[in-house]
């Protein structure tokens, strides 16, 4: 009888552990490389994953990607945030990496959505985002996009951001976390790891995203499918 009770308890424990594991969302890490570099990347869309990696929440409209750069040559490789672009195949948005001060500094951010490849070479000027974290609120849009000329052919959208800094005494503590966790911007012969932050609007799925590297080691494309 005692043996039967122990067997039932063991089966229940195994079943519970299996169901708990199955409830966890899979983490998708993809890789691309050549003779000069290997790059590993993991998009973080789940709020729990972001909090675990960063130690805080990101504001809406910003996607974090965990990146590891492994130089393979005998000379140090220059790694820059500007080497990376995040592309959404869902709606054609394309963005370079934000600096921490553009997310959590004492600043007002202007996002300009340009249309590449349109018939008239037009662009959309999006309004100013107010309430950047660190200035006491969440990012808000002041109104709808304006001014794509009628009759122009559809092109590829590209998000560009500029930032107007204010008094640093208003900087959010999030700024320190973002800076500490960001991928180092430097020359190195050793692997470098960290987060990159990209302004991509709307609800995105991992399978729709692609990270593009274009730097001293060439050009690489990392899809997450």
pLDDT of residue 122: 37
Is the per-residue pLDDT at 127 higher than 90?
no
Per-residue pLDDT reduced to its tens digit, 26-80: 566 799 999 999 999 999 999 999 999 999 999 999 999 999 999 998 999 999 9
Percent of the chain with pLDDT over 90: 54
pLDDT of residue 173: 85
Per-residue pLDDT reduced to its tens digit, 142-169: 333 433 343 444 555 555 555 545 455 4
pLDDT of residue 183: 98
Q: Burial level of 142, CB count in 10 A (0-12/13-18/19+)?
A: exposed
**Helix ranges restricted to H, 35-150:** 47-54, 100-104
pLDDT of residue 176: 92
Local confidence band at 106 (pLDDT 50, 70, 90 cut-offs): low
pTM: 0.64
Cβ pair 91, 214 in contact under 8 A? no
For the segment 173-187, the average pLDDT, to the nearest whole number, is 94
pLDDT of residue 77: 97
The candidate with the shortest Cα–Cα distance to 39, out of 70, 18, 62, 17, is 70
Is the per-residue pLDDT at 192 higher than 60?
yes
CA–CA separation, 59 vs 220, rounded Å?
28
- Which of 17-26, 80-89, 157-166, 174-183 shows the lowest per-residue confidence on average (mean pLDDT)? 17-26
């Amino acid at each position: 009888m005692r043996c039967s009770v122990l067997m039932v308890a063991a089966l229940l424990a195994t079943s519970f552990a299996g169901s708990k594991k199955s409830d966890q969302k899979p983490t998708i890490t993809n890789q691309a490389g050549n003779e000069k570099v290997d790059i590993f990347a993991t998009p973080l869309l789940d709020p729990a994953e972001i909090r675990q990696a960063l130690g805080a929440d990101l504001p809406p409209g910003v996607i974090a990607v965990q990146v590891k750069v492994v130089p393979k040559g005998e000379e140090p490789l220059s790694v820059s945030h500007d080497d990376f672009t995040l592309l959404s195949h869902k709606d054609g948005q394309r963005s370079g990496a934000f600096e921490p001060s553009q997310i959590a500094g004492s600043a007002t951010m202007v996002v300009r959505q340009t249309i590449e490849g349109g018939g008239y070479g037009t662009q959309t000027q999006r309004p100013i985002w107010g309430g950047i974290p660190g200035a006491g609120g969440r990012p808000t849009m002041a109104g709808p996009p304006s001014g794509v000329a009628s009759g122009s052919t559809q092109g590829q959208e590209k998000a560009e951001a500029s930032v107007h800094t204010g008094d640093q005494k208003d900087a959010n503590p999030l700024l320190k976390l973002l800076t500490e966790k960001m991928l180092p911007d430097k020359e190195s012969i050793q692997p470098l790891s960290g987060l990159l932050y990209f302004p991509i609007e709307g609800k995105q799925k991992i399978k729709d995203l692609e990270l593009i590297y274009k730097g001293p080691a060439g050009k690489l494309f990392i899809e997450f499918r």
